Amino acid sequence: MSIFTTFFPLGWQHYLMGGAFIGAGAGLLFILTGRIGGMSTVFSSTWSFVVNKPFFQQARFTESRNWRLVYALGLILGALVWWLGFAGGVAESTAVPVWQLLLGGFFVGYGARLGNGCTSGHGICGLGSMQLPSLFAVLTFMATAFLTANIIARIAS
């Protein structure tokens, strides 16, 4: 049991169960509608409503922007069900400083869109369809994320 407490100090069941739900969401989307549901594209496709630049007016954005927004809305809905039904409705918050959220978010958005995928696009959908380029992408962002997170921890402490 010590291995479990060393590597999973907060327990492990909820991680596995949550992963299964995430996979069920991506899987259900595919079985019912045929779509591959990564999460980062919505951040480009939604800009197509207001930005006229040809890049944003590509069919892959304008034709998917509606369902991607509905999918994102579902994400909020699912979290709401968990929050009110299972977590007692105590509001979540984070102690991560605002500058890290904002600047980190900027790199996340820029990088995910340049690299055509994030933790769900490459990590779950890409690996779920056994694509080698997605595996390389996952290994790359894991490596830079490990480095960054540990450097920041050193500086902050």
Partner 1 sequence: MNTSNMTRPRMLATLAAGALFGFGLSISTMIRPEVVLSFLRFSDFGLMLVMGGAVVVTLMAYKLAPRLLKQPLLGDIFHKHPSVWNRDTAVGAALFGIGWGLCGVCPGPAIAGLGAGNWNLLWALAGIALGALAQGLRAK
Assess 7 for contact with partner 1 (CB under 8 A): yes
Half-sphere exposure of 80 (CA within 13 A, CB side): 6
**Given candidates 9, 52, 88, 155, which one binds partner 1 under the rule CB under 8 A?**
9
Convert residues 21-50 into a mask of x (bound to partner 1 by CB under 8 A) and - (unbound): xxxxxxxxxxxxxxxxxxxx-xxx-xx---
Per-residue x/- mask for partner 1, residues 50 to 79, rule CB under 8 A?
-x-x-xx-----xx--xx--xxxxxxxxxx
Q: Does 100 interact with partner 1 (rule: CB under 8 A)?
A: yes
**CA 33/CA 59 separation, integer angstroms:** 18
Interaction between residue 92 and partner 1 (CB under 8 A): yes
Judge whether 42 and 72 are in contact, CB under 8 Å: yes
- Output the smallest distance, CB 1 to partner 1, in A: 15
Least CB distance to partner 1 at residue 2 (A): 14
Query: Please, are residues 25 and 37 in contact by the beta-carbon 8 Å criterion?
Result: yes
Q: Which of 1, 52, 88, 132 binds partner 1 (CB under 8 A)?
A: 132
CB of residue 135 vs partner 1: minimum separation in angstroms? 9
Nearest CA to 48 out of 65, 31, 32 is that of 65
Minimum gap (Å) between residue 151 Cβ and partner 1: 8
* Structural contact between residues 117 and 42, judged by C-beta atoms closer than 8 angstroms: no
124: DSSP letter: I
Least distance between partner 1 and beta carbon 8 (Å):
6
Instruction: Decide if 57 contacts 49 (C-beta within 8 A).
Output: no
